[in-house]
Amino acid sequence: MSYAAACTAAKAQGLDVLGGFHGGAEDGLPEGCETLLLLGPAQDFWPLFQQSPEFLDSAPDPMDRWSTRVIGQLSQDLQATPFMPFGGPPYAPFLSWAIKTRRAWSSPVGMLVHDTAGLMVSFRGALAFRSRLSLPATGNRPCDNCTAKPCLSACPVDALSAAKGYDTMACHGYLDTAEGQSCLSTGCIARRACPVSDGANRDPAQSAHHMKYFHKPRVF
């Protein structure tokens, strides 16, 4: 198994390898595993997902069920151990894993920023391999060269801040207003403000799908 082969197999399912690292049991990997690869939506993920049985059957949690099936099959094909960022507790430490890849970092607004997906980064699962795969060189934290930092001023209610944390009440309150409908239909305005987020090529319908699960409108 090679890194390139894993990337090709993931890409065929609408997923990208968003980073990897060499580790062991101290990082939460199964005994004997030496490499972990993190998987997230590729640019063509959304149209592929819309054709899946999970999307079409109208049952709850279609994306989580899709991830379980697709990444589970990938793990069998690639002889790896699968991990999902849901289904706990306990939960796999995806945030710390992401930072270990040196392709994701804490951003000025607190959430993770990725070298190619920006603040739109998300993970659908991970694969742990017993072999030590040769990993490509990593990039630099994009925020270090971003002088404008538009993410800091994008949120109208200042709900996101690395210093103050995430003000979920302010966020949900804003989403209940007419002005907040833009975030519900196209995704978080702060995440969209990141210049690197364009690299994710996120379909607004995909963002709306996630927002539907994140925010339930208040009943007055």
Q: Where are the domains of the chain?
A: 3-214
CA distance 22 to 37: 9
pLDDT band at 218; cut points 50, 70, 90:
low
**Residues 84-94: b if buried by 16+ CB within 10 A, e if exposed:** bbeeeeeebeb
Q: For the segment 88-111, what is each residue's pLDDT rounded down to a tens digit?
A: 999 999 999 999 999 999 999 999
Q: Are 174 and 182 in contact (CB under 8 A)?
A: no
Confidence of residue 11 (pLDDT cuts 50, 70, 90): very high
Dump pLDDT digits (tens) for 172-201.
Answer: 999 999 999 999 999 999 999 999 998 888
Whether the Cβ atoms of residue 118 and residue 194 lie closer than 8 Å to each other: yes
Phi/psi of residue 18, nearest 5 degrees: -95, 5
What's the whole-model pTM score?
Answer: 0.94
